[in-house]
Structures are given as structure tokens and as C-alpha cells.
A and B are shown apart, each in its own frame.
Chain A
């Protein structure tokens, strides 16, 4: 990490509630939001962290075995994803980019379905409404606009600020540091701000926009951009699952109550490649990766739970079994997905029948 207090990687003002050695440190404002995290809740998070990582490694292997055309690994970012996802309520809606596998798993999306897109079978195999988890968007940053519109719609539907916890809803949009250099993201922030949209901008600053470091994207912390657009922002240790949970929960409650958007910058690190198509050793060094490996989100929670004797071996064994089962399930089910039918591309262009699409489908032949 840079020691430059003013730079984009500055740790000044960074919210941390679990140190790298797993020690829980108090936070004057946010302890309130972490109060519900008892041992069971933390163990549930730990389980999700481990399963998300196994999902990641298994999917990467499947790509290397020719079963997936592509994969975007999230290893290293599980803390930011699992922590923030656990702060969601069922009625909330998530707009992921293409790397939020951990969030998807927490939202109950079947692991195999996440990989349909990466195999090229279809654009995503789950019902976004059923899971409150939108389909992945590969176009960088554009979904922040979709999320803003969706959030504005929630407000117009009267689902914000009613004071009924089971009813009030908010939206979280996940994106990366690279996306913040896109015009779309700024436009979304302007709209969300002036419309008081119930929206949490959750930026996982994983330090690398493919091969371009954050230092080439910003000269101030990315979170510092938001207040200029009228959006309060917070920087959080993205590998601290507790802090990510607390910060997101605060932001969501604020949004649901009708106080408008919040911008969260979670400092984390993508341990793998941007996608299976690139080679990170060409643009960053092993020492940097090692520094971040020492900040690993799973190790940190493991240390915390172990120190307090809350991580019995039987629990770890059970997770290990579940992870192995997940791997086996993915290997079997992904291979069984087959491949896309050519005619399938016409099925979801419009919700209702459309003359041109029907004509194209016929001209193309049926298979």
C-alpha cells in the first residue's frame, strides 16, 4: 500500500474493524451496524467466503480445461463481496458487473447458472427478480445507469422511506475502480444524487483496471469524487468482511429510509487475472501480490474466529465437504450444459412477440 496520504491508495480514513491479524477493533459509528454479527453470523460469512473462493478456482480450472470460453476470477475480493451481500435484505436489488460471484452465491443464485454466461450458453441463467440479483453486465460501467433508474423506480413505487423494514428497499450497484473513469458512472452519480435515489454505489477498488493501476485512474481517493456530486462517501478495508458488512448496512439503511445514495470504496485486490485472457505477471510484480495475500479476507476471519474458539474443526470439515461438493457439481453440470442453440438468441430479445425478430428467426432456420 502506498503511504501517500493524498493518493488514490491512501489508507487515511479507511474503515477497518478487523485487523489483518483478525483482531476486532471498535468503530465509534459503525459498531452499531455490526452488532448483529454474532458467532453464527460470522461463521455463515466464513462459509460463504470459502465457497466463493472454491467456486472461483473451480471455474478458472474449467476455463483452462476448455469448458468455459472465459472467466473473470474474483479471488481476493471475497471480503468486500460477502460482507456487503450479507447486509442486503431480500427486497433489495443488486446490479453486479461480471465479477460478483460471491454476491450472487449469497443471493441464492445457483453456482452453475452463473457460469452459463462464461460458457457462452446464454446471458445468464437466473431470474433476476427472484434473487434480487440482476444479470451480469460486461459493458464496463453502463449498469450503474440501469441501477440508478431502477432505484429511482423504487422510490416512485413508494418502496422507500415508509419506515417499514420489511418493505423499504434499496439498490446496490457493484463496479470496479476502472469503471469510475467512465462517463456512465459519473452520469449515474449525478442522477442518483439529484433524484435522491436509494442506491449504494459499491466500488471494489481492486487496484487494477485490467493492466492499468489505480494510480493511473485517479490522483485522489476514488471515494473523494462522490461528495463533489452530492453523494457522501466512505472508504472501507475491502478485505475486512466485518467492516464491509457494517458500512454497507449503514449505507443501505440510509438509502432505504429515503436519504439518497452513498458511495462506498472498498480497497481490495484481485489476486488473479482480470479474466482468464490476461496474464497479470506482465504488469505487476510478485511482491505486490504477496503484500495483499497477507491481507487475505478469509485468513483474517479465520484468525478472528479461531482466536475466540468459534471455528471448530467439525465446522471446517463440513465446509470442506461442501466446497468439494460444489466443485464436483460445477464440473459435472457445466459439462452437461452443452452449448447454445443458434435459435435461442431470438428468445429474449423482446418480452412479447416481435415481427422482425420472428422473421429473423425464420430466415436463420430452426435448430
Chain B
């Protein structure tokens, strides 16, 4: 007794919903008599009976969604007949569909779906099964087509486009991550970067070097491989500086400014430069000359959302502590807002990098290109320290100074660092040297 299988009434449809039966069990039907109305993803369609006979059984109730190829009705014809459309020839059915349907009037589709993709939906069961409908993802037609070509369910893609639409980038990123997830051999090895291209084996993500990162790399390579770096270190008791910071913070003169240990360190460096102006210089390879600057453009290394930038405070040597505090706050705010300009970073003469904010003791900083020295200011922490003959908990930090040995000898570099330390150990030094 033949079963009528649900046909693909569209092109490449996989399922349809039974809307209404026009016949009941026991009814006599003629060839091509409409027996059931179905709704596909595209349209309402009436299905005609392939045979004349008597309806023996209805196998799918109205409202259920049925997979293409599943039996929906049994018709007693009195003759042994079977229906076997082009889509239902058993093992060959999947291969018959391999190339995907061509919609008449729409032209050819893109490449066929890859067969080995593992994140595809499982095969539709060959029996009537209710399907849960989810809200549809938003995407423009070319992206929908691309998703179809790639075998990706758009609903699984995280949208980032305006109005929550899935963009081409979203889709491609989803594909590479999905592929990488499939390939990852150990839990946690999946890619964690939102951008970049995941390697075919899923174990690496490659991100193009752009903008700030690119400039930083070029500057650091240029500096590290042209200027022979020497770094000297000095550990110093900055308890007096920390007390000064506290006092200044409550000083009405400094209201509206931000007083930090870095401010005092910057001032200490300016005082050291004043005593040893040869440190404030640069090496001109082309002219084979050393350029000594009569001004100090004090660079401050700053971490920003876009990466490392080194803006400088122009003519910092002219600024009193109050104005220096304002300039430092202004520079920091501009950098954090990502608005540091090229001019802000140009023509620096010497730099301070505050590695202490990361809780780090010290480091061997690389010179900002065109400068001869850079001071690293470490973290300030209470440590046991010999003070007035006794071990006392004191606020201690470590300073390091990298310098260009082409024009700065160990003696000069050491004296500069010692002077910075001296001011931080006893800020009243500043009165003597200011």
C-alpha cells in the first residue's frame, strides 16, 4: 500500500508544515485531486494525489512540521505502487543535492556546501517531528546567501552591525572561530581573540600589525638597534617624597591639580637635567654631530586604549611644580581619551616611564628614538630599610635609567640617576638645585 512522501515543493526546502487535509481516512481520491495543503518556507502549496484510491491513513496531523521525504499519507490503490521521486532514492539522495538547487531566474549559486563541515545541523529525522521556531537573525540578502553557501545558520552568529544585523565580518569571523573550535584538540585551546584570522589547525590567531602597534614596533627596533643601551639602577628611600605628596595634596595652591609621586619624579629628573644638561641631547648620525637641547620636552610614556604613546610636555624646564602638575594631568587625560596628536609626541628630549603603576620594581626601558635617556620609576612600597641606624619600614622605590652610550658615558648616566634619587630621598634638595 503506497505512502505519499512529502515532496520538496520549492527548491532545496527540507521541511514543510501540514496546514489542512482536504481528505479523510476512507475517502476516495482521484489522480491529481488536491489532498492536502502545506506551507513551506516560501509558500502555501496544494499537493495533488499521485494515485486514485482510498485514503488508508493520514500520517501527519495539521500543524506539524514534516521533513521532506517523510510519509504523510497512505493510499490504498489495490495495486502495488510506490512513489520514488528524484529526491527520495535512498543513499543517493544526499549526492543528488550536493550541488544545491539552481533557482530559475535567479542564476547560479556560489560554491556547493562543504560536505565535511561538522558544525552543520544534524540531518533532519525521517519522521514527522515538530520544529521549534526561533526568531530570525537580521542580515542583508548577500550575507544570507553567503551564510547559506557556507552552511552557517545565521541565528548562531553574533551580530555587531547597526540595529543588530549580522555583517559579513561577523559571519566570516564566526566561520573561522567555528572551524577553530572544531579543530581545537584541548579544552581552552580555542581562540580567544575577537578579531584576526585563526590558523587552519586552530592553534594560532594572526592579527595584522596596524597603527600604534606598528609605530611602536618600528620606534623600538630603530632605537634598540641603533643606540647602544646601558641601564643603571638605584634603590632609594622615598618616604620624604611620599610625605611631600600628601602635604601638597592638601595644599590649597595645588587644589584642582593631581599630585602624584610621578610628578615629583618628573621634577627630580628636570632638576638633574639642569645640573647635567649633556644628558638632554641626541645623536645625529647623518651629520655626525651631537645635538644638545637647551630646552626639555619631557616625555611621559602613557598606556592608551590604542597602545603605547609617548607625548611630551613642551618646555617642561620652564614649569614650576604647580604648572608641571597641570601639564602632566592634561597630557594624561589627552592620552587616555586617545586624542594624543603627532605634534604632542614630536621632539621629545628625555622621558619618564612609570612602570610602578603596574606594581613593578624596575626595568630596562628602551629609549624613545632621538633621545639620550629614559627614566623608569618603579613601584613605591613599604620595605625594611636601615634608617638612622635602625631597620625601619620605609617607602622605598627603585629607579632605573637607560641611556645612549654613544653620547652618554656611565659616569654621566650614573650622576643623573643619583641626582634624581637624591631629590626623591630629600625633596628639599630641590630648593638647593632649583
Chain A positions near chain B (C-beta within 8 angstroms): 57-58, 61, 63-70, 72, 98, 119-121, 138-140, 178, 209-210, 273-279, 281-282, 327, 331, 335, 339-340, 342
Contacts and interface: CB of A to CB of B under 8 A. Distances in A.
A72 B96 contact: no
B104 A339 contact: no
A275 B9 CA distance: 10
A140 B85 contact: no
Contact of A275 (B46, B50, B105): B105
Interface string B37-78: 000001111111110000000000000000000000000000
B86 A70 contact: no
Given A61-B48, A210-B105, A277-B11, A66 B85 contact: yes
B7 A66 contact: yes
Contact of B92 (A210, A279, A331, A339): A339
A70 B101 contact: yes
A276 B87 contact: no
Contact of A67 (B44, B85, B92, B105): B85
Given A277-B11, A339-B92, A65 B50 contact: yes
A140 B105 contact: yes
A139 B46 CA distance: 28
Contacts of B101: 69-70
B89 A339 contact: yes
A331 B86 contact: no
5 contacts: A66-B87, A138-B104, A277-B11, A327-B31, A335-B83
Contacts of A331: 31, 50
B6 to A, nearest CB: 8
A64 B5 contact: no
Contact of A279 (B44, B84, B104, B108): B44
A119 B86 contact: yes
B5, B88, B95, B104, most chain A CB atoms within 10 A: B104
Contacts of B46: 64
A321 to B, nearest CB: 16
Contacts of B85: 65-68
A339 B93 CA distance: 10
Contact of A65 (B43, B48, B103, B108): B48
Given A65-B48, A67-B83, A68-B86, 19 more contacts: A57-B32, A61-B48, A64-B46, A64-B48, A65-B47, A66-B6, A66-B87, A67-B7, A69-B87, A69-B101, A120-B96, A139-B108, A274-B104, A275-B104, A276-B45, A277-B42, A279-B42, A339-B89, A339-B96
A72 B104 contact: yes
A138 B107 CA distance: 8
B11 A64 contact: no
A67 B86 contact: yes
Nearest to B107: A139
Contacts of A210: 105
B232 to A, nearest CB: 70
Contacts of A57: 32
Dominant SS among interface residues on chain A: loop
Given A69-B87, A339-B86, A276 B95 contact: no
A69 B47 contact: no
A339 B91 CA distance: 13
A356 to B, nearest CB: 19
Interface string B1-20: 00011111111000000000
B31, B45, B85, most chain A CB atoms within 10 A: B85
A61 B9 CA distance: 10
Given A274-B105, A331-B31, A66 B8 contact: yes
B397 to A, nearest CB: 72
B145 to A, nearest CB: 16
Given A282-B43, A339-B96, A69 B104 contact: no
Contact of B105 (A68, A178, A327, A342): A178
A310 to B, nearest CB: 31
A335 B105 CA distance: 26
A64 B105 contact: no
A60 to B, nearest CB: 8
A312 to B, nearest CB: 28
Contacts of A70: 11, 101, 104
A140 B4 CA distance: 34
B290 interface: no
B89 A64 contact: no
A120 B50 contact: no
A277 B10 CA distance: 4
Nearest to B89: A339
Contacts of B308: none
A69 B105 contact: no
Contact of A69 (B45, B86, B92): B86
A281 B44 contact: yes
B129 interface: no
Nearest to A178: B105
A63 B43 contact: no
Nearest to B34: A64
A63 B42 CA distance: 15
A66 B5 contact: yes
B86 A277 contact: no
A63 B45 CA distance: 11
Given A210-B105, A342-B95, A278 B43 contact: yes
Nearest to A339: B86
B4 A65 contact: yes
B126 to A, nearest CB: 14
A63, A340, A342, most chain B CB atoms within 10 A: A63
A273 B40 CA distance: 15
Nearest to A60: B48
Contact of B107 (A67, A68, A140, A275): A140
Contacts of B31: 327, 331
A64 B45 CA distance: 8
Contact of B104 (A98, A119, A342): A98
Contacts of B87: 66, 69
Nearest to B32: A61
B105 A276 contact: no
B360 interface: no
B102 interface: yes
